[in-house]
Amino acid sequence: MKIRPLYDRIVVKRIEQQRQTASGIVIPDAAAEKPEQGEVLAVGQGKRNADGSLREPELKVGDHVLFGKYAGQTVKVDGEELLVMREDDVFAVLAPRDKQLKKAA
């Protein structure tokens, strides 16, 4: 099944973070917090302005984003847990490390 968000909503898949501390202690799933990073899987067509024009979304499919702990609504699609949230709920877009290294050089 495919999911297509409406208006300024996006569909995000959480990116699982490391479940082991630096000293090697493994954190069980029950004690681990849900990650606040994810990959954008789908983007709506944009938000309507007061004059009726459409504002294009700033995010695109494949972006890695940071969002709030309680942002969005959790849905299950084909057994996979996804988040549907407004574009405004996203705090930042993470740049890939290779691009960050090229800018620093």
- Please give the backbone phi and psi of residue 39, each rounded to the nearest 5 degrees, phi first: -110, 135
The pLDDT of residue 43 is 93
pLDDT computed for residue 80 by the predictor: 87
Put simply, whether the predicted model's pTM sits higher than 0.85 gets the answer: no
Spell out the residues 6+ positions from residue 7 whose beta carbon is closer than 8 angstroms to its own.
Answer: 44, 45, 46, 47, 48
List per-block mean pLDDT (blocks of 10 residues) for the chain, which spans 105 residues: 86 76 62 73 89 89 90 88 91 73 49
Alpha carbons 53 and 40: distance in angstroms, whole number? 24
Q: How far apart are CA 9 and CA 12, in angstroms?
A: 10
Domains in the chain, CATH or no CATH each: 7-16+32-100 (2.30.33.40)
Distances (CA, A) of 75 to 13, 24, 63, 72, 82: 10, 33, 20, 10, 5
